[in-house]
Amino acid sequence: MATESETTDHSAHLAKAGANVNTRFGELLFLARRYPLGAVGAIIVIAFVFAAVFAELITVHDPLATDADMSLSAPGAHHWLGADNFGRDVYSRIVYGARISLAVGLGSTFLGCLLGVILGLVSGYMSGWVDLSVQRVIDIMQALPLLVLALVMAAALGPSLENTIIAIAIPIVPHVARVIRANTLALREQPFVEAARAVGMSDFRIAVRHVLPNTLAPLIVLGTAQLGSAILTEASLSFLGLGIPEPFPSWGRMLSESAAEYVRTAPWLVIFPGVAISLVVFGTNLMGDALRDLLDPRQRT
Amino acid sequence: MSAMPTIGETILDVAGLKTYFYTRAGIVKAVEDLTFTLSRGETLAIVGESGCGKSMTALSLMRLIPEPPGRIAAGKIVLDGRDLLTLDEESMRQVRGNEISMIFQEPMTSLNPVLTVGNQIGETLRLHQKLSEAEIKARTIDMLRLVGIPEPEQRAREYPHQLSGGMRQRVMIAIALACNPKVLIADEPTTALDVTIQAQIINLMIDLQRELGTAMILITHDLGVVAETAQRVIVMYAGRKVEEASVEALFERPMHPYTRGLLDSVPHLTSISGDEAPEHLNEIPGMVPALSNLPQGCAFAPRCKFADDQCTAQYPPFELKSDGHWAACWHSERLSGDSNA
Amino acid sequence: MPDPVLEVTDLKKHYPIKKGLLRRTVGNVYAVDGISFSVAEGETLGLVGESGCGKSTAARAVMRLVEPTSGSIKLEGQEIAHLGKKELRPFRREMQIVFQDPFASLDPRMTVGDIVGEPLQVHGIARGSELADRVAGLFTQVGLRAEQMKLFPHQFSGGQRQRICIARALALNPKLIVGDEPVSALDVSIQAQVINLLVDLQQEKKLSYLFIAHDLAVVEHISHRVAVMYLGKIVEYADKKTLFSHPLHPYTEALLSAVPIPNPKIKRKKQILVGDVPSPVNPPPGCSFHTRCPHAMPRCKSEVPQLQEMSTGNWVACHLHQGGKAVAA
């Protein structure tokens, strides 16, 4: 009984809903069309990761090699994005800087999430005075001013890659712990947890096998957003001289070394690292937003 | 049951209603080709289990289907001479709550927790009627009294969480009836209530209906509630109407195997009905098919003990089986041999 | 006469209400206020009542999922009400629970095979291929196919999930299964399937059920004995036939009268109770039902009625029936 217009009507609606999408590629395209900004963000992040991983393949110059003759040369055939006052190739330093930023970003995000999950899980599951004390620890961590902490660590232990990672991980911990704790509190009351107790399972087993896997979902979104934030923080710390030391190329330090002195004479030294930082943070934020919308339980049919 | 209500002329005429949802899995035909009428003062029950389309029917009548992913693909909903599907959203809003209203299953989540009860009743009056504030206040108290809430002036100032479940449902009824609608749709109004409160609310709804002459569509899965409140019944399965009859005829001689199966499988108080207590309940084997993947023929065939090749090949027509009693089944006559009087 | 599988005596569960900065206890929620009952082998005790009566709390207290305030719980003659976690563990094998919500009762991240097999793993009963075999056996017992072990809960319907919950409950071969509204959330036609399954399993394995429900028709079908609860106390406790055909307590009468019968020919005069169920925080003095009772006497306002045995095995707590005989109101 379906009329000609009826069937065409249906296919238009079906296409919008993403039915008849069978291949992986088709699914990706469908998602990209549904979340265009997220797709842009994802592309940026993927390019960034690619650059970090394959740095050797896409650069010509050694980022650490100095060349007095080419000092402060403008972007051109030899140095695609110009050279700094030591004659070091800006492009190579940006690409290798991506590697540093990625390492620090991932490292600190991972460390922060790990600690945050442990604290949040223990706090949420055990409740009582354990919960109260862990929450105070989290409060303390949140109260620590990041820059002061980094300064103290740099002064006491010397600036290094490891210290930077630790310093940046610390503000992430309370963020993650709060979310995980909230989820744990909710999950603890679910019948499947009660059933586990009825079987006689120990609290530890229940927390790790049943509660933990179900709390991790929001971590994907949280982690993506934190990654961008961590990279930005690293740039800030390095800008202040508290982060990544020589000779590792860091976008933040590239900025601090050139901003005051060369901004008028060699603006490329300021523009490109700045753009790199902004682009990466922008990309991770867009991707995080889209992921949040995507994973939001909205389907009702 | 109280005295028979006076049933008047047709107030609602639904023809060929199709409500579809477009999902990744394909088209979900939530309501397929539904036709029925409702008269003034009458209670029509729509019975079925989850996924049968009864709630979607209610939402379609109120034009509350989310679009996307849903869509009322075809049909007519004529309320007192006007086809609701031809109205724009602005006009439809004037109809909702005013000429046709709905009460839901969960009174706690259907009421706004931060507004007083009196405020919420007043809101609907303010939207649809031209009354002064004093008149609105008076009418609010009247409605609360009408639905049997003691100390209505006091209660009007209270918030939903201060009331019990039964009281909240009464408030919902008050809101729904405040503008004296022509049609009231009650979607599982007593399912979430305790059984003694359920009895109170059902009594209330019957009394109010008689007093106000409202036509009511009662959506439920509880056959006991149907037997006590409705005059006519529609049974839905997998989005389609499979049987329609007066309530006495449906319970005494069902013409569709699904109805028969439902009646046989529901445990009921045998000590009161006087029936023989069954050792084993007559179960309907299998499950409801996925609405995105309905079989070609009769949707119930995979679970039906009378099904044959004709049933799986062709969907049976919805036809008159006896006086005022309709069903969509190729083998209705086999059921009469099976039934217990 | 062998010990009943479950014997509960004067079980109480009170929740303190704390207010103020110093968290002073200002009152109690008398969720379960001194109930006693027993369940024999192969028998089902139906525990009915409306919301707030304490039946769910009682079920959880029996399972020691909630700590009883006082009272005795004897599982196969052994007192378990105050055992510590370690001593309680072996007893957990004898009693299991099936919950109301088939969707929230299964860990969404585990395969159903793992879920059903976990109790066996935790108690070290089986491992590896033997575990898989036993789980497969459990699946077929509840009417599912063994191949479905690898699937996840969301791939099953509500009725199937409830069967999985039953399989999990059977895994440790318990003597007692507590069902907290196990069929209330299921569709009507699926309810019948699961009820039949429970009845079959009971006959096969001589299981005892403590069956909590608010649907009296289901309780009538599946129980051997029934206890009616109101505001934390048992008001009537009798064998099924007696309770349903000749209810003695006015609340039981009202409950039965309120249940809609799916037969339009039967027109009954319904007893509609006035008012709402009072809160368990501040139960009325004397008999807690007196505020809604059509037969309330002055005595009911001050004196708490005790459960009295009216005939063998049939008890009621009501001043209308005193000392084994009915008193004219």
Q: Over the stretch C218-230, which tens digit does the pLDDT of each residue have?
A: 999 999 999 999 9
A146 and A286, same domain (yes or no): yes
Task: Provide the ipTM.
Answer: 0.84
Contact B30, B70 (CB under 8 A): yes
- Give residue B339's pLDDT: 44
Burial (Cβ within 10 Å: 0-12, 13-18, ≥19) of residue C209: buried
Neighbours of chain B (3+ CB pairs under 8 A): A, C
Contact A156, A99 (CB under 8 A): no
CB pairs under 8 A between B and C: 140
- Give residue C183's pLDDT: 92
Determine the average pLDDT of the residues in A195-217.
Answer: 89
Over its C-alpha atoms, chain C yields an Rg (Å, rounded) of: 21
- Give residue C327's pLDDT: 54
Both structure tokens of B101: 């209203």
- CA of C48, closest CA in chain B: separation in Å? 11
Model confidence at A297: pLDDT above 80: no
Q: A124, A71, A42, A3: which is closest to A262 by C-alpha?
A: A71
Please, what is the Cα angle at B48 between B42 and B50, to 5 degrees? 130
- Per the listing, tokens 């001289």 go with A241
Q: Is B21 left (phi over 0), alpha (psi -120 to 50) or beta?
A: beta
Q: What single string gives the DSSP state of each residue in A230-295?
A: HHHHHHHHHHTTSSS-TTS--HHHHHHHHHHHHTTT-THHHHHHHHHHHHHHHHHHHHHHHHHHHH
> Which whole-number Å values give the CA distances from A152 to A147, A229, A235, B172, B234, in the listed order?
8, 21, 18, 62, 76
Q: C210, C206, C138: which is closest to C175 by C-alpha?
A: C206
- Torsion sign (Cα): B304, B308, B311, B313: positive
CB pairs under 8 A between A and C: 53
Q: A218, A197, A219: which is closest to A209 by C-alpha?
A: A197
Average of per-residue pLDDT values in chain B: 88
A114 and A180, same domain (yes or no): yes
Model confidence at A301: pLDDT above 70: no
Proportion of chain C above pLDDT 70, given as a percent = 98
Any chain B CB within 8 A of the CB of A9? yes
- Give residue A70's pLDDT: 77
- CA of A148, closest CA in chain C: separation in Å? 36
Chain C residues touching residue A213 (CB < 8 angstroms): 107, 109
- Per the listing, tokens 């753009």 go with A275
A27 and A77, same domain (yes or no): no
Both structure tokens of A76: 């051109």
Residues 154-173 of B with CB under 8 A from C: 164-167
* Cα A28 to Cα A288: distance, rounded to the nearest angstrom: 17
User: Is A192's CB within 8 Å of C96's CB?
Assistant: no
Please give the CATH topology (third level) of the domain spanning C6-94+174-324: Rossmann fold (3.40.50)
Determine the average pLDDT of the residues in B282-307.
Answer: 87
* Cα C41 to Cα C35: distance, rounded to the nearest angstrom: 20
* Alpha-carbon torsion, ordered A12, A13, A15, A21, to 10 deg: -140
Chain B residues touching residue C189 (CB < 8 angstroms): 49, 261-262, 265, 283-284
Any chain C CB within 8 A of the CB of A201? yes
pLDDT, tens digit (0-9, with 9 covering 90-100), for B170-227: 999 999 999 999 999 999 998 888 888 888 899 899 899 888 989 999 999 889 999 9
User: Is B283's CB within 8 Å of C193's CB?
Assistant: yes
User: Is B263's CB within 8 Å of C51's CB?
Assistant: no
pLDDT, tens digit (0-9, with 9 covering 90-100), for C45-91: 999 998 888 999 999 999 999 999 999 999 999 999 999 988 999 99
**Which has the higher per-residue pLDDT, A251 or C10?**
C10
- Give residue A5's pLDDT: 46
Chain A residues touching residue B28 (CB < 8 angstroms): 301
- CA of A59, closest CA in chain C: separation in Å? 44
Which backbone phi and psi does C226 adopt, to 5 degrees? Answer: -135, 140
Q: Which long-range contacts (CB under 8 A, 24 or more apart) does C186-189 make?
A: C186/C102, C186/C158, C186/C159, C186/C162, C187/B49, C187/B50, C187/B221, C187/B288, C187/C158, C187/C159, C188/B49, C188/B221, C188/B223, C188/B262, C188/B265, C188/B266, C189/B49, C189/B261, C189/B262, C189/B265, C189/B283, C189/B284
The DSSP symbol for C263 reads: -
Contact B42, B232 (CB under 8 A): yes
Both structure tokens of C269: 């005069």
Neighbours of chain A (3+ CB pairs under 8 A): B, C
* pLDDT interval class at B67 (50, 70, 90): confident
C189 vs B200, B251, B284: nearest CB: B284
Any chain A CB within 8 A of the CB of B263? no
- Give residue A246's pLDDT: 76
Question: Containing domain of residue A168, as a range?
Answer: 38-299
C266 vs B165, B262, B273: nearest CB: B273
**Which has the higher per-residue pLDDT, A291 or B245?**
B245
Burial (Cβ within 10 Å: 0-12, 13-18, ≥19) of residue B197: buried
Determine the average pLDDT of the residues in B17-43.
Answer: 91
Any chain B CB within 8 A of the CB of C184? no
Does an H or E element contain C220, and which? helix C216-222
Any chain A CB within 8 A of the CB of B328? no
Average of per-residue pLDDT values in chain C: 90
pLDDT, tens digit (0-9, with 9 covering 90-100), for A43-89: 998 998 998 888 888 888 888 888 777 788 888 888 888 888 888 88
* Cα B84 to Cα B78: distance, rounded to the nearest angstrom: 6
Q: Which of helix, strand or coil describes residue C40? A: coil
- Give residue C323's pLDDT: 55
Chain C residue with CA closest to B271: the answer is C245
pLDDT, tens digit (0-9, with 9 covering 90-100), for B254-282: 999 999 999 988 888 887 777 777 788 88
A200 vs C106, C109, C123: nearest CB: C123
Chain C residues touching residue B196 (CB < 8 angstroms): 50, 254-255, 258, 272-273, 277
Q: Which of helix, strand or coil describes residue C264? A: coil
**Which has the higher per-residue pLDDT, A78 or C100?**
C100
Chain C residue with CA closest to B148: the answer is C275
Both structure tokens of C180: 């907290």
- Give residue A299's pLDDT: 39
* pLDDT interval class at B1 (50, 70, 90): very low
- CA of B27, closest CA in chain A: separation in Å? 7
- Per the listing, tokens 């299953």 go with B105
- Per the listing, tokens 């008159």 go with B320
Chain A residue with CA closest to C86: the answer is A200
Q: How many domains does chain A have?
A: 2
Query: Which of A193, A199, A212 is best to mutate for the C interface (most C CBs within 10 A)?
Result: A199
What residue spans define the domains of chain C? 6-94+174-324
**Which has the higher per-residue pLDDT, C38 or B7?**
C38
Give B291's contacts (C-beta < 8 A, 6+ positions apart). Answer: B28, B29, B30, B51, B238, B239
Model confidence at A1: pLDDT above 50: no
Chain B residue with CA closest to A18: the answer is B24
Any chain B CB within 8 A of the CB of C269? no
pLDDT, tens digit (0-9, with 9 covering 90-100), for B97-117: 889 999 988 877 889 989 999
Chain B residue with CA closest to A16: the answer is B22
Model confidence at A267: pLDDT above 60: yes
* pLDDT interval class at A151 (50, 70, 90): confident
- Give residue A30's pLDDT: 82
Contact B25, B16 (CB under 8 A): no
Does an H or E element contain C316, and which? strand C314-316
A84 and A25, same domain (yes or no): no
Q: Which residues of C touch A (CB under 8 A)?
A: 60, 63, 65, 88-89, 92-93, 95-97, 99-101, 104-110, 118-119, 122-123, 165, 168, 172
Q: Is the pTM of this model over 0.90?
A: no
Lowest mean pLDDT among A225-234, A292-301, B127-136: A292-301
- CA of B285, closest CA in chain A: separation in Å? 25
Lowest mean pLDDT among A7-16, B157-166, B236-245: A7-16
- Give residue B2's pLDDT: 43
A11 and A156, same domain (yes or no): no
Here the CATH number for the domain that contains residue A153 is 1.10.3720.10
Which stretches of chain A are DSSP H helices? 4-17, 24-34, 36-53, 55-58, 90-126, 128-143, 146-157, 161-188, 191-199, 203-205, 212-215, 217-239, 251-262, 268-295
A26 and A42, same domain (yes or no): no
Any chain C CB within 8 A of the CB of B327? no
Over its C-alpha atoms, chain B yields an Rg (Å, rounded) of: 21
Both structure tokens of B257: 């195997």
A8 and A48, same domain (yes or no): no
